[in-house]
Structure 1
Amino acid sequence: MAKKKTSASTKSKRSPKLLIVIIAALAVVMAAILFVGNLEPSASGDIDLEGQPVKGEENAVSIVEFGDYKCPACKNFHESMVPMIEQELVETGDASFTYMNYPFLNVDSSRAALYAETVYGELGNDTFWEFHDRLFTEQDPEAESQDFFTEERLNSILEEIVSADEASQVSEAFQAEEYEDALETDTDYVSELGVQSTPTLFVNGEQFEGGSFEELRDMVEEAANE
């Protein structure tokens, strides 16, 4: 009898402690569930393409690149991946392609980005893309100087594409920083989406995590079927 009594007494002393542990554990689990439920992926979200340079059909699956005109990896991407995107996805009507600025390397990056935004705003979509391509062609990965894409060099590149009057028009608008807001729109998306490097791609607002064109094409197909 004494043995049973001692056992019951021990059980009664341990029960409150066990109950407290269980309640605390449940509270932690519930807090974790609520926290996870309220999390929003930092690398996904709606991207408004209005006012952005776009290649392809407006209603197609959107591919958005965040890039830096001074970034060697972006130059490599432009030379190796972009031609396949254009030929196999954009020209087929499966996707549109948009470039947005993440000028993070140095003042050259910001200068080239603002100048390109000015070209787009003053001379339109087609001229922008031609200028955009030329910037990556002209980029020198060995040139670490912050004075490579000077205003003079940018003017010179543009003058090879358009008339002297049009180049002068862009130069005046650039000096007046008339398209600073357009550049800020891009950099706001960089913060909102959690972009941390260039080039970074988004397909219909979801970050592309793959490393090959085949994976990108598969992601575009999946987005089209959603």
Structure 2
Amino acid sequence: MVISFNSIKGGVGKSTLAVNFAAWLVKEGHDVLLVDGDEQETSSDFTAYREQTRGDTGYTLVNMTGANLRKQVESMRSKYDHIVIDTGGRDTTSQRAALSVADVAMIPFAPRSFDLWTITKVIEVIDEIQSIRDKPLKAYTFLSRADIKSADNREVAQALATYPAIQYLPYPICNRKAFSNAAGVGLAVFETEQPDLKAVAEINALFNNVLHGHNTPATA
């Protein structure tokens, strides 16, 4: 499966989730390729720290940007169990190439009004991509960097659920320090010496649903 993490607005935790998903898939016993399609190279920086911390990243990392990303990913699809693509936080050629080749698009939204304002642009991009694909793209939205307790979470979740072009997944990822603390040393949130069990539960719920369809509730 090819899973692309996409957003047309930065600061939603896209790269953090992409690298955590890659590490999570490795933990599940899969052979994984992580594609850094973001010019900021956040996933590449994470992987460099990961190699220093662990000695072995557990997955293969490649950098790909531009329209050629689609062709390169297609050529490597059969070599890995799963390919995770981290794209930039704006509408770029790399992001559209990733959407054109992915089986699943993961589109995080922070529970803020100015983040939700981008939903129309996101849907326009998804619709354009769907029109040129032979097989429909599974596009999912979910809350990322959500407040631990806030009415904003509920309001934005309800708004996201009203758009038929993208499926809302009710598995929010909260804005927990555990994610940034782990990423700063090249680790997934479940790999730290004393993992934040709530953060681990959240990613398990989201990732299991995407990969297996398991409806495992996260702990808020």
Q: TM-score, normalised by structure 2?
A: 0.27
RCO comparison, higher one (Cα < 8 Å, 6+): 1
Larger-Rg structure: 1
Q: TM-score, normalised by structure 1?
A: 0.27
Which structure has the highest strand share of the two?
2
